[in-house]
């Protein structure tokens, strides 16, 4: 009979890799796992229940919030507050960071940054969405209130990062800095099972993912790279395949498994890029590097080395197979 390894067992097995592990990160993961299961349930019945569509509020970026965004935000916030290992969170859906003020939380070692439901405009049309999370050790003393500095750390300080993809099946993919592992949810028994051990992105790929509708607004180097992807050349398997779902987690997940590059450059519409450094770019950059890939904002500018200035800072993102990112980087270097 096939042996199934559950996420819980996997975490316990790996604890010896962290000499100072005291079970707190394990507890933090239990919170994320629980909230992910609840979200899985809600998203699967989203077409039935009256929870799709806009909730009426706008998020801090001025975009319409969907009802499930609000729900996901509350779920993850409550789950993370419950166990007392997290002293606060920052969420893409909230303007300010959230302090957890109970005594048990003040002693918590970690902060979590989260995009509770990324790509939520896709829910109404039954396309995959995701949750993205990022974990840091606080810099303020334990026992005190969490501060903004706890959240404004560069991505290279991440202790863990991951995402949940609510797709044709629900998966949790994460890294604690020792490779990337993927777990598929079996709803019949209610557990995440190890299905994608030690994920490595192919060194090169033939998929490019970008919202080409914005082509005229892109920098010259990106335009030239897109043309390069579309040219015919048997030796390099071009033209490449264009795949863009418009849901970062889904586009990233596909490219991680098959090899490819995801691009969200600056444009006249989004002069700083659209994606958020802390909630989207940093966790994805951490994962891709752990899987052997690259993530840059500009030529020579590693995403993980950017010093954040603001919670909701935006950032261009080029992420994927290392050889594809190298190539894109050359185009942007040459043509701007």
> Interface residues with ligand AHM (CB under 6 A)?
63, 92, 115, 118-120, 211, 246-248, 251, 274
Q: Which one of Mg ion, ligand AHM, none is in contact with 247 (Cβ closer than 5 to 8 A by kind)?
A: ligand AHM
Q: Which one of Mg ion, ligand AHM, none is in contact with 63 (Cβ closer than 5 to 8 A by kind)?
A: ligand AHM
Q: Which one of ligand AHM, Mg ion, none is in contact with 53 (Cβ closer than 5 to 8 A by kind)?
A: none
- Between 33 and 274, name the residue whose CB sits nearer to ligand AHM: 274
- Between 63 and 231, name the residue whose CB sits nearer to ligand AHM: 63
Beta strands in the chain (DSSP E): 54-58, 64-66, 86-91, 98-99, 110-118, 129-137, 158-166, 170-175, 180-186, 191-196, 207-209, 241-242, 261-264, 294-298, 301-302, 317-320
Contact status, residue 191 vs residue 7, Cβ threshold 8 Å: yes
- Between 54 and 193, name the residue whose CB sits nearer to Mg ion: 54
- Between 117 and 199, name the residue whose CB sits nearer to ligand AHM: 117
Alpha helices in the chain (DSSP H): 7-14, 24-44, 67-82, 103-106, 148-151, 220-230, 248-258, 282-290, 322-335
CA neighbours within 13 Å on the CB side: how many for 229?
A: 27
Partners of 238 in the β-ladder: 233
Three-state SS at 328: helix
- Between 200 and 211, name the residue whose CB sits nearer to ligand AHM: 211
Give exposure, 194-225, as e/b (b: 16+ Cβ within 10 Å). Answer: bbeeebebbebbbbbbbeeebeebbbebbbbb
Q: How far is the CB of 92 from ligand AHM (least distance, A)?
A: 6
Contact status, residue 307 vs residue 272, Cβ threshold 8 Å: no
DSSP character at residue 206: S
Q: How far is the CB of 112 from ligand AHM (least distance, A)?
A: 17
Does 118 interact with Mg ion (rule: CB under 5 A)?
A: yes
Q: How far is the CB of 248 from ligand AHM (least distance, A)?
A: 3
Q: How far apart are CA 330 and CA 233, in angstroms?
A: 18
Q: Which one of ligand AHM, Mg ion, none is in contact with 274 (Cβ closer than 5 to 8 A by kind)?
A: ligand AHM
- Between 22 and 61, name the residue whose CB sits nearer to Mg ion: 61
Q: How far is the CB of 275 from ligand AHM (least distance, A)?
A: 6
Strands 294-298 and 317-320: antiparallel
Does 115 interact with Mg ion (rule: CB under 5 A)?
A: yes
Q: How far apart are CA 153 and CA 169, in angstroms?
A: 33
Token pair recorded at residue 171: 């998966």
- Between 92 and 298, name the residue whose CB sits nearer to ligand AHM: 92
Does 93 interact with Mg ion (rule: CB under 5 A)?
A: no
Q: How far is the CB of 4 from ligand AHM (least distance, A)?
A: 31
Q: Which of residues 216-275 bind Mg ion (CB under 5 A)?
A: none
Q: Which one of Mg ion, ligand AHM, none is in contact with 82 (Cβ closer than 5 to 8 A by kind)?
A: none
Q: Which one of Mg ion, ligand AHM, none is in contact with 206 (Cβ closer than 5 to 8 A by kind)?
A: none
Q: Which one of ligand AHM, Mg ion, none is in contact with 120 (Cβ closer than 5 to 8 A by kind)?
A: ligand AHM
Q: How far apart are CA 259 and CA 204, in angstroms?
A: 6
- Between 53 and 187, name the residue whose CB sits nearer to Mg ion: 53
List residues binding Mg ion (CB under 5 A). 115, 118
């Amino acid at each position: 009979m096939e042996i199934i390894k559950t996420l819980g067992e996997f975490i316990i097995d790996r604890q010896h890799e962290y000499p100072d592990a005291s079970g707190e990160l394990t507890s933090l993961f239990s919170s994320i796992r629980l909230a992910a299961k609840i979200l899985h349930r809600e998203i699967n019945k989203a077409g039935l229940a009256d929870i799709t569509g806009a909730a009426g509020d706008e998020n801090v970026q001025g975009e319409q919030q969907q009802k499930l965004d609000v729900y996901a935000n509350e779920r993850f916030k409550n789950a993370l507050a419950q166990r007392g290992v997290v002293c606060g969170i920052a969420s893409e859906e909230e303007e300010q960071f959230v302090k957890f003020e109970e005594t048990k939380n003040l002693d918590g070692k970690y902060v979590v940054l989260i995009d509770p439901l990324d790509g939520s405009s896709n829910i109404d049309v039954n396309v995959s969405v995701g949750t993205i999370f990022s974990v840091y050790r606080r810099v303020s003393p334990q026992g005190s209130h969490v501060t903004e500095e706890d959240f404004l750390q560069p991505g290279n300080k991440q202790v863990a990062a991951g995402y949940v993809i609510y797709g044709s099946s629900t998966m949790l993919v994460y890294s604690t800095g020792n490779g990337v592992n993927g777990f598929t949810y079996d709803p019949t028994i209610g557990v995440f099972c190890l299905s994608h051990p030690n994920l490595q992105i192919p060194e090169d790929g033939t998929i490019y993912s970008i919202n080409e509708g914005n082509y005229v607004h892109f920098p010259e180097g990106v335009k030239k790279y897109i043309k390069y992807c579309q040219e015919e050349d048997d030796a390099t398997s071009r033209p490449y395949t264009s795949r863009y779902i418009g849901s970062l987690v889904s586009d990233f997940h596909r490219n991680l498994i098959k090899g490819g590059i995801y691009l969200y450059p600056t444009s006249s519409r989004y002069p700083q890029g659209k994606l958020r450094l802390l909630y989207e770019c940093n966790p994805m950059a951490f994962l891709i590097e752990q899987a052997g890939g690259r993530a840059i904002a500009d030529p020579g500018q590693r995403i993980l080395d950017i010093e954040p200035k603001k919670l909701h800072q935006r950032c261009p993102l080029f992420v994927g197979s290392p050889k594809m990112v190298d190539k894109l980087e050359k185009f942007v270097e040459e043509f701007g």
